[in-house]
Amino acid sequence: MSDKEVQKKNTTNLKRALWAALVVLAIALTSLWTFKPEIVETEQYIEPTGEVTTQVRIPLRTNIEHQPPKTTSETTPTAPSVEPVAPVHKKITEDTVVQPSFIADLSHLLVNSYHPKGSHPAASKEAKLLLDAKVINVHYGIEMTGLSWSGDDLAIGRRSVMRYALRPSMINALYALYKQRFIDAIDTDLTNIKRSFDGSERPLTQPERNSFYHLTAKQLRATAGVLKSCAKINSSMSDISAWLQAERDVLTANQKFQTALHDYQVSKNMNATQSVTDAAEMKMKAEGVAYEKAIRDREAYKAALASMIRKYKWTKNQDDETNLYIASWVFRRSKDLSNPKEVMMTIQDRLLDLASTMDAQASL
């Protein structure tokens, strides 16, 4: 091949290379002009509406490349939307700690304590409900009927049940759960019970049933009044504490007096020297004076506390001994509670509601 032909061929190859470079450059410039930023994967939270218990997470478009729009025939059909399904909650009919048998037993205890006029020596002039807070507390403190607990220590079991039940939310929940069951149990027990009148046993009449409901409502309101006094008076816990300490002081003073009295009697019977007998007598008299003072102090604290409680509505419908016993129960329970005032006021509200329900039963 001649030099001229070689030069011509090289020139042709160079033109082709330049043309290819121009085509590549044109494609690169075109892709830059048509570039769209990539959509970064993100998620958006949708707040629950209340009907759905789980939070819904809807992912947005992710990593979509620029593509020509599809025709209608090419578009993929969207999946049908699914409506959220509300969770199904099983209806609670009983509690595992405070069980239905507790309600049945309480109804039985309450109705059995009722004696219409003329059916009992204590009810010779008017119908009586021979049941108070102390009887109820002792009954369930020992029997624990219908109250579930584990272990062998009764005191620990009793405290565990109290800690479980004596919370405002739990008090309201248990009341809502068992209120109607309690009313129904009472109605059944009143229908089945019989009382003896002049040696003849018979079921209760409707007026006698009504009397039961009114007496129960009266006692429920009196108990609610004591709880309110303990919750509302700022000094109530310290006042109750002082009274209970005075009760213990009387016991201690009595023991000392009894010991001194015994020593004096022994010294006389054993023909001790006069100085020993005189010293024993002086100690006996001193301990006797201390014992009398302890009794006076206790009665003063007791009277002041009873007077404080009686200032609240309905508390006069109950004797002072019962009111003071309820106050001492509040004091003991409050030691295990972080919010004793709120707890006592919650119980008070529920007792007043139950009292109103009892009155309503009498008018049915």
Residue 39 lies in a domain: no
13 and 125 both lie in a single domain: no
> Does position 186 have pLDDT exceeding 50, yes or no?
yes
How far, in Å, CA of 111 to CA of 131, rounded?
A: 10
pLDDT at 80: 59
On whether both 267 and 126 belong to a single domain, the answer is yes
Q: Could you tell me if residue 12 is inside a domain?
A: yes
Task: Examine the domain organization and report whether 147 and 249 are in the same domain.
Answer: yes
Q: How far apart are CA 281 and CA 268, in angstroms?
A: 10
Two tokens, residue 177: 């759960």
Domain check: are 196 and 286 in the same one? Answer: yes
CA 20/CA 3 separation, integer angstroms: 26
Cβ burial, residue 342 (10 Å; 0-12/13-18/19+): middle
Indicate whether 364 pLDDT > 60: yes
Burial group, residue 77, by CB count within 10 angstroms (0-12, 13-18, 19+): exposed
pLDDT tens, residue by residue, 248-257: 999 999 999 9
Q: Do residue 326 and residue 230 come from a single domain?
A: yes
Q: What is the signed CA dihedral for 121, 122, 125, 131, rounded to 10 degrees?
A: -140
At residue 41, the pLDDT reads 41
**pLDDT tier for residue 261 given thresholds of 50, 70 and 90:** very high
The answer to whether residue 154 sits within a structural domain is yes
- Is 270's pLDDT higher than 80? yes
Indicate whether 330 and 207 sit together in one domain: yes
* 125 plus 233 within the same structural domain: yes
User: Is 314 found in the same domain as 200?
Assistant: yes
Shared domain check, 134 and 8: no
Whole-angstrom Cα distance, residue 92 to residue 270?
75
23 and 106 co-located in one domain: no
Structure tokens at 9: 């061929």
- Model pLDDT for residues 70-115, shown as the tens digit of each residue: 544 445 555 556 666 666 667 889 999 999 999 999 999 999 999 9
Question: Region 285-300: what's the mean pLDDT?
Answer: 97
Burial class (CB in 10 A: 0-12, 13-18, 19+), 344: buried
Answer whether residue 128 is part of any domain.
yes
d(CA 182, CA 246): 39
Q: What interhelical angle do 206-232 and 236-269 show, nearest 10?
A: 90
Q: Identify whether residues 209 and 355 lie together within a single domain.
A: yes
Tally of structural domains, the chain: 2
pLDDT of residue 69 exceeding 60, the answer is no
pLDDT band at 143 (very low <50, low <70, confident <90, very high): confident
Q: Give me the domain span that covers residue 20.
A: 1-28
Of 150-159, 190-199, 226-235, 278-287, minimum mean pLDDT range: 150-159
Beta carbons of 120 and 130 less than 8 angstroms apart: yes
The structure's pTM equals 0.72
Mean pLDDT of 36-60: 39
Of 190, 184, 187, 183, nearest in space to 114 by CA: 190
Q: Is the pLDDT of residue 12 over 70?
A: no
Judge if 24 and 105 occupy the same domain. no
**Beta carbons of 148 and 97 less than 8 angstroms apart:** yes
* 69 assigned to some structural domain: no
**Residue 52: inside a domain, yes or no?**
no
Mean of the per-residue pLDDT values of the chain: 84
pLDDT at 318 over 60: yes
Contacts of 353 (CB under 8 A, 6+ apart): 175
Q: Given this model, what pLDDT does residue 151 score? A: 83
Which residue is associated with the tokens 């049933």?
Answer: 209
Total count of residues recorded for the chain: 364
The answer to the question of residue 195 being in a domain is yes
Q: Are 331 and 237 in contact (CB under 8 A)?
A: yes
The first and second tokens of residue 113, run together, are 């304590």
Query: Is residue 70 in a domain?
Result: no
User: What pLDDT is stored for residue 83 in this prediction?
Assistant: 67
pLDDT confidence tier of residue 38, bands split at 50, 70 and 90? very low
* Distance, CA of 186 to CA of 70 (rounded, Å): 75
Is the pLDDT confidence value at 44 over 70?
no
Sheet strands (E) in 55-127: 56-59, 114-115
